[in-house]
Structure 1
Amino acid sequence: MGNVIGANIRRLREARDWSQSRLARETCRAAHIQGEPVERQDISRYEHGKGTPREWLPHIAAALGVRLEDLTSESAELRASKARLGDYLPDVNPLAPVCGTRTRRLGSRDVHDIAHRAHGLRLADDVISGGDLIRPALRELRTTVKIYRESTYTESVGNSLLAQIGEMAQIAGWIASDVGRPEEAERVYRLGMDAARQAEDGTLLGYLTGSLAYQFSNTGREADGVALAQAAVDEAGHGAHSTARALYLDRLAWAHTKAADARSAVRALGDASEALAAGGGGRAAPGYVYWMNADELKIMEARCYTELRRPLRAVPLLRDVLARYNVTHTRELALYLSWLAVALTDANEPDEAADVARRALDISQCIASARTSGRVRVILHHLRPFADVPEVAALFRDRGLGRPD
């Protein structure tokens, strides 16, 4: 019952475009009580099923302008949404405050320091593989959660801390996935999603949701990938910065591609291009989408076309971007070269594919990444049917792989 009540409170509050703080104030006003015996934290706890409003329930209903049964009954809308984000949030609240006295007082400077460390991890991930970053990333995440649970702060600082937990969880989850630990990555993503939701940051929630959807799409859970990628777009809404929205649509395109739905994939790619071209309307994009640009969108378009076996569309896009790609981003360079090699084999250009594959394999040798290792296997699989092509045979011989057949 608690989860039903909490979900209804959140749904009806958001329908009015109210914050949790606004609902707390309106509840007190409906109860004709001065002061704030109901606070934002109470509303958050009710919405997450961590407590029941009990005597406050009629006053919450009055504040929202609904009947009491509208809060206690499972609505059709609620039943329809159960298969979305709720299934991927933690069963217990790992962000609950630690019982007892909390003596450390945090301010905006502390949040700034945490944000600086999170962004440092993101920049490091551009040039260092997951195998070298996983331990510091998880350590930073644990430290940030501990600070949040064991400190005191204002409501504003608390929300900012939750957002930083979400950002830290996204990069830690991404790194865990890169080293081939998808179960751990999923747990970390779910923690971050819960933090973003508690912070009421729809844009960040969309980023984390899209990241988990991307992992699902790449680990044999294609239907979950599509559902969650669509939820990321829906959660963020049109209020999200255009660059962030382009990224969510980019993830949706990939999810449809992995589910072999070419029409939906192409439509999502077009929507992503339109979103990116729209610009931010003078608003700055969130720092965590700093890497999303027109070239990255071209890469995803090319990857989708490669996966859909349309190499004549994929090859020109990949060649264009790779001609100017930052060579210090070695993991991404190896990954993108792998897509070009596969597209070239599909285009019946095995000699050129072998040359590109050789470069991708050379780069991959010094990268501790499950993603690149997996792509190496894909390249070799696509080259094996061309055993009689001299360039292909030489590649396998030089790598000590024997004959490709």
Structure 2
Amino acid sequence: MSAFGRAMRDRREQLGWTQRDLAGRAFLNPGYVAKLERGTRNPSREVAEVLDRVLDAGGSLAALVNAPRREPSPPMLTSADVEGLHGQIRALVADDITHGADGLWRRAGREFRRAHEALAAGRFPDAHRADLHAAVGELGEVAGWLAYDAGRPEVGRRLMTDALLVSQLAGDAAMEGLQLNLLALLAQEAGRYAEALALADRGLALAPPGGRVEAMHRLRRGRALASLGSAEGLGELSRARALLDGGGRSGEPAWSWWVSPQELALHQGQGHAALGEFGRAVEWSGVAVDMLPAAQRRDRAVYLSRHAGHLLGVRDWSSVELVAGELGPLLDAAGSGRVRGEVAGVVQVARRVGAPGRVVDALTAVAAA
């Protein structure tokens, strides 16, 4: 073991982190982190400095790497960098659609951190301040979403929180609203329902009245209230659907496309399930599955997983088996740790409700594929 590897391991253990914890915070491959600790790989100066910063080692780790320290002044950012950041965002979104988030979230996180640090250095003309902050904030939103979709929700939460602060500095209320909405989603999925409600309320206060943006915040508010045991949540979800049925409003942000009738139907089902009304949950999630375009394979895997959970609630074992049969091929193509986590959660529900062995086995086979 090298001196660097030993010092890195000792500091990591002082913090109570696993190698995977450290890898997630530093946006490195866990296998690479293990090799650094064993001394079978030597870090570059850049990697050593990243690890030093993440581990809060005060420069002691970076000092163990003998490459000469180079500290050039950060480059001056210009309007060309704004377009470059938007190009990175477009490339990440396109790669996510094609390949899924699993292979992208680390790259997105590194690109956001690099841009964020350049922004913090303050080397840009005042004329481009707002545009640069807005672009970096949007890049952080994409990075946070990809981390969540890859099954790394805590990493997604950290990235999204940093991105939110950048968007606030930009005065970009629309992006701030989206980031609050996604933080509400992360809080909801983590079981922090009161936090999800507070974030949804904050987003709702920023939203223009009417249309998709208000609907997406009412969706989060409804889910949180239902999870807290309040039937008022179903009313909020109904209001969200009514807003969408009303035809929206002009000038809706491009990213609001995801607020769709099928998405609202799925969340209506989730709201009923949270209140123990599994019969109604099955009806709504079934409608959502039927409405979803066939091309949205990753979303279909999520919808079917939620529908399977609702079917387990009414003990419809044969229908669960049919859903499991459809899920298998979709899961292979999803490229999403979040989707695999959804299926693993359904397996746990099946065991908890005492589903027959054949049902548990069918779901387990899908989750293990």
What residue is the counterpart of 2:89 in the other structure?
118
Matched, 1:205 2:205: no
TM-score by length of 2: 0.70
What residue is the counterpart of 1:271 in the other structure?
239
The one-letter amino acid paired with 1:304 is G
- In the TM superposition, residue 328 of structure 1 has moved relative to its aligned partner by 4.3
The C-alpha deviation readout for 1:299-334, integer Å capped at 9, x for no partner, is 222222233332332333333332353444333211
Structure 2: segments with no counterpart, 5+ residues: 1-70
Q: Hey, what's the Cα distance between the residues in 1 that align with 2:215 and 2:330?
A: 29
The C-alpha deviation readout for 1:101-155, integer Å capped at 9, x for no partner, is 7763522x54234224324423443453322111221133134324534542343
Rg (Cα) greater in structure: 1
The one-letter amino acid paired with 1:265 is G
- In the TM superposition, residue 158 of structure 1 has moved relative to its aligned partner by 1.8
Is contact 1:127-1:329 (8 Å) kept? Answer: no
SS across alignment from 1:162:
helix
Matched, 1:260 2:229: yes
Query: 63, 75, 78: which one pairs with 1:106?
Result: 78
Structure 1: segments with no counterpart, 5+ residues: 1-98
Equivalent residue pairs, number = 296
Is contact 2:324-2:363 (8 Å) kept? Answer: no
The C-alpha deviation readout for 1:284-306, integer Å capped at 9, x for no partner, is x2122232222222222222223
What residue is the counterpart of 1:347 in the other structure?
314
Matched, 1:225 2:193: no
Q: Quick one: structure 1 residues 302 and 112, their matched pair in 2 at CA, closer, same or farther if it must change by over 3 Å? A: farther
- In the TM superposition, residue 258 of structure 1 has moved relative to its aligned partner by 2.7
The one-letter amino acid paired with 2:180 is T
What residue is the counterpart of 2:13 in the other structure?
none
Q: Quick one: structure 1 residues 224 and 394, their matched pair in 2 at CA, closer, same or farther if it must change by over 3 Å? A: closer
Q: Quick one: structure 1 residues 352 and 141, their matched pair in 2 at CA, closer, same or farther if it must change by over 3 Å? A: same
- In the TM superposition, residue 388 of structure 1 has moved relative to its aligned partner by 4.5
What residue is the counterpart of 2:218 in the other structure?
249
- In the TM superposition, residue 172 of structure 1 has moved relative to its aligned partner by 1.0
The one-letter amino acid paired with 1:298 is A
The one-letter amino acid paired with 2:212 is T
The one-letter amino acid paired with 2:197 is V
Is contact 2:288-2:303 (8 Å) kept? Answer: no
Q: Quick one: structure 1 residues 399 and 275, their matched pair in 2 at CA, closer, same or farther if it must change by over 3 Å? A: closer
Query: 206, 210, 214: which one pairs with 2:185?
Result: 214
Q: Hey, what's the Cα distance between the residues in 2 that align with 1:332 and 1:400?
A: 16
Q: Hey, what's the Cα distance between the residues in 1 that align with 2:360 and 2:151?
A: 30
Identity, in percent, stands at 23
Q: Hey, what's the Cα distance between the residues in 2 that align with 1:370 and 1:400?
A: 11
The one-letter amino acid paired with 1:242 is G
- In the TM superposition, residue 173 of structure 1 has moved relative to its aligned partner by 1.0
SS across alignment from 2:258:
coil
Matched, 1:335 2:307: no
Q: Hey, what's the Cα distance between the residues in 1 that align with 2:222 and 2:174?
A: 18
Aligned-residue CA RMSD (Å): 3.1
Query: 129, 149, 152: which one pairs with 1:178?
Result: 149
- In the TM superposition, residue 215 of structure 1 has moved relative to its aligned partner by 0.8
SS across alignment from 2:276:
coil
What residue is the counterpart of 1:44 in the other structure?
none
Is contact 1:306-1:339 (8 Å) kept? Answer: no
Q: Hey, what's the Cα distance between the residues in 1 that align with 2:134 and 2:227?
A: 30
Matched, 1:320 2:287: yes
The C-alpha deviation readout for 1:18-57, integer Å capped at 9, x for no partner, is xxxxxxxxxxxxxxxxxxxxxxxxxxxxxxxxxxxxxxxx
The one-letter amino acid paired with 1:238 is P
Q: Quick one: structure 1 residues 392 and 183, their matched pair in 2 at CA, closer, same or farther if it must change by over 3 Å? A: closer
Which deviates more, 270-279 or 201-210?
270-279
